[in-house]
Chains A and B, each alone.
Chain A
Amino acid sequence: MAEFPKARDFFESSRAAVGDHELRRKLESASARHLDHFAQVKAEFPPYDDERDAAHRIKTDAIAHLDELLIELTTKLEARGCKVFFAEDASQARDYIVELAKARGAKNVVKGKSMTTEEIDLNDALARAGIDAVETDLGEYIVQLRGERPSHIITPAIHLSKEDIGQLFSDKFGIAYTAEPEKLTAEARSRLRAIFLAADFGVTGVNFAIAETGTLIIVENEGNGRLSSTMPETFVAVMGIEKVIPRLQDLSHFLEILARTATGQKLTTYTSFITGPRREGELDGPGEMHVVILDNGRSSMLADPVLREALNCIRCGACLNVCPVYRRLGGHAYRSVYPGPIGSIVSPNLFGGAAGYLPFASTLCGACKDICPVKIDIPRILLHLRWKESTGEHPLKWPRAIERARRGARRFAQAARYPRTIRALGMLAAMVLKPFAHNGYLRRMPGPFGNWTKYRDFPRPRPHKRPPS
C-alpha cells in the first residue's frame, strides 16, 4: 500500500457505508450464515476450546522465540533448495518479486489468494512493470475484474450480490447474463484453467511455516493455491515473519480450529504441504522456489508487549463476521486490506498515518475476543492503541464534532477526580432537567446535547444517594 488514504476519506467512506442498506443486507446475511455454520461445527467438536488454548500457547511461545525460529526456518528452506529473501518493508518485497518476474521473462503470472500480497500491493507493482497478474481465487478474481480491493479477508466479494457478479461477467466477457452461482463459477473455471495451463510464474501466501522441516502450509478450498504452486516453473511464496511455528506436531492444533472458525468447515478442502521445489523427474511443483519473508512493521508490533499478542492472528476472519462495526460498514470503508477488529490493530502498525483512526472504530463489545480461535484480547489491544495515539507525539487531527466530544470527555475525566464536584454537578443537573423528563427519560436536549437525543433517549440524572454502608 503506497500511501494510506487521508482521514477525511475514512470518515466519508464510513458515512456512505452506513447509509447503504443493500450492503448491510448482504453483510448481515453472509455473517449470519457464517455464524450458523460455526455454531454447528463447534458443537460437534468438544475439544474445540482445548485446541484454542493449545493454539494460543504455541503461537505465543513461537512469537517469543521468533528470532530462533526464523533462523531455523531459513536454514531448512535453503537446505531444501529454496531461495529466501527477507523484506524489511513492502517496497523491498515488491521490488524483489517484480525483478524476479522480469528476469525470468514471466508472461503469465497467476496468484493464489493471499492477503500479504495485497498488503504489499504486488499487482500494481507488476502492472507498472508491464506484467499482468491474474487473481485466481474466485472472489479475488471477481473483485480484480471490478478494479476493486477485497472487502473481507476470507470472502473478498462479500459486498457483491450474485446479480452484481452476473452483470460483471456479462459486461466483461460478453456472455449472456446469469445470476446462477454454478454457471458463473463454471465460466470462471474455464477461463482460469486456460491461464493456469500456460502459467509460468506463480505467487501465493502462506498460512503456516514449519521451522523444523522448512515446510510451507497453504490452506484453501478451491484449488487456486494448489494450481499456483504446482503449474508454474517459478513459484514465490510470500509470508509475514509471524507465520512460523516450531514443529510439525504443532500444526494439527491450528488446522483443527482454523477452518471451523473461518468458514464453518472441519478442515478446508485442500491443505498443501510444500517443502522445496520439485525433485528430479517430478511433474508437479516449481523448478525454482522463492520464499519472501516480510517484516513491514511486524517487528515494531513485536517490540510492544501489548501489541505483540496481535501477531498470534491466523487470519481466519471470524472477528469481522461478529463485529457490529464491520457488519455495518463492510470492509471497504476501513480503507485497509485488513479490515474489521484485527485490521484496526494491524493496519496502523503496517501502514501508519490515517490508519491510526481505526482503533477508534470499535464499540469494544468484545465479540471478537470471544470468537478468536487463538484467543487474542482484541479490545484490550484496541484500548492500548487508543491510549498510545492520544499520548503520542503526533496526535491525530479529528473532525471538529469529534474533537469537541473528545474535549468534553477529557473535561469530564478531570472533574471525575473530584467526587464532590461530580456530586454537585449531578444534583444541579437533576434539578434543572427534572421538568423536561418524561417517565425518567429526556427525549430532546438543547444545543450539542441534541446529537445524543437524536438517536436515543437519555436517562434523567437523579440526585446522588449514598450507597448503604
Chain B
Amino acid sequence: MAELHKIIATVKDALGAGAGSNSHAAAASAVVPVAQSALRAEIASTFARELEEVDGKFLGMLTPAEVTNRIVALAGEIGAQTVALGQGIVSDMDAIGEALERADFRIVRTVPVADTERAAMHARVADAGLGIAEADFAIASTGTLAVVSSAQRPSSLTLLPPASLVIVQIDRVMANLAAVLAELGPGGVAANRLTLITGPSRTADIEKRIVLGVHGPKSLHVIVVWP
C-alpha cells in the first residue's frame, strides 16, 4: 500500500501543481474536441426540452455577441420599458446594459445597497418589465437554473419583474441536481442564498388548473451561451 501512495505522489508531482479533475478534463477535450462538444450540445438540448416542458422559453444556444442582440430584441418583444440587471459571472453584463441603453431602454443596475435603501431598490426592480441574471448552473434533467444570490447579483432579479431572462454558460449545464449540489459543495451552498428555478412562477390552487405568474415572473426566458 505504501508503495502505491508513493507512486501516486510521484505521478502527481510529475504532472505539476494543481493536477486535478479540471486539468484531466482539459486533457480529454484536447484529444477528442468533437466528442466533448457533441456531448455538451446533447446535455444542453435535454435542458432546453425540459425547460419548455415547464413552460420556460428557450431562446437558443448563442455566442456572446449574439446574446446581447437577442436580449435587446427580447426586451422589445415583451414591451419592457425598464430592464433590471446585476453583475454577470462570466458574461459581461455592463456591455449588455449599455446595448440596452443605446436601444432606449431604461436600466436599473443592482449595486450593493445600505439597509435604508433596500425598499427603494426593491420597488425599482419590481417596476422593471424584465429582470436579467446569469445562472451559476443549469440542470438538464429537470430544466432547472441554479442561481446564487449576492450583493451584486440579488435574487430579486429573478423574482420581482414580470418577465425573467437567465443566461447560463454551456459548460455549466449539468446532468442532474446531485451533480450541481456536488459542484457547489457544502461551502458553496452555505456562502450565499441559492435558488433553484424550474420554470415561471405557477399555481394549481384553483381546481388544480395551472396558472403562471402568481407571485414571481409570468415568463422565463433562457439563453445558453456557447463561446
Contacts and interface: CB of A to CB of B under 8 A. Distances in A.
Contact of A282 (B112, B126, B207): B112
A223 B141 contact: no
A210 B211 CA distance: 32
Contacts of A158: 208
A268 B198 contact: yes
Interface stretch (B11-19, B72-80, B87-95, B154-162): B154-162
Interface string A182-203: 1011101100110011000000
A268 B199 CA distance: 9
Interface string A212-229: 111100000111101100
Interface in A148-173: 155-158, 160-162, 165
B141 to A, nearest CB: 7
Interface string B107-146: 0001011110011011101100000000000010111100
Given A275-B193, A282-B150, A223 B214 contact: yes
Interface stretch (B28-36, B58-66, B178-186): B178-186
Contact of B216 (A142, A161, A270): A270
Contact of B206 (A181, A213, A248): A181
Given A137-B205, A266-B50, A267-B144, A188 B214 contact: yes
Contacts, number: 193
B113 A281 contact: yes
B199 A269 contact: yes
Contacts of A137: 205
Contacts of B181: 248-249, 251-252
Contacts of B178: 249, 252
B133 to A, nearest CB: 12
A384 interface: no
Interface residues of B, number: 59
Contacts of A251: 181
Given A267-B196, A282-B154, A283-B121, A248 B216 contact: no
Contact of A272 (B125, B143, B177, B195): B195
Given A30-B208, A155-B204, A267-B196, A249 B216 contact: no
Interface of A: 26, 29-30, 33-34, 76, 80, 136-139, 142, 155-158, 160-162, 165, 181-182, 184-186, 188-189, 192-193, 196-197, 210, 212-215, 221-224, 226-227, 230-231, 233, 247-249, 251-252, 255-256, 263, 265-275, 278-285, 287
5 contacts: A138-B203, A213-B190, A249-B181, A270-B216, A285-B149
Given A157-B205, A283-B118, 7 more contacts: A181-B209, A193-B126, A197-B122, A223-B159, A226-B215, A248-B185, A278-B193
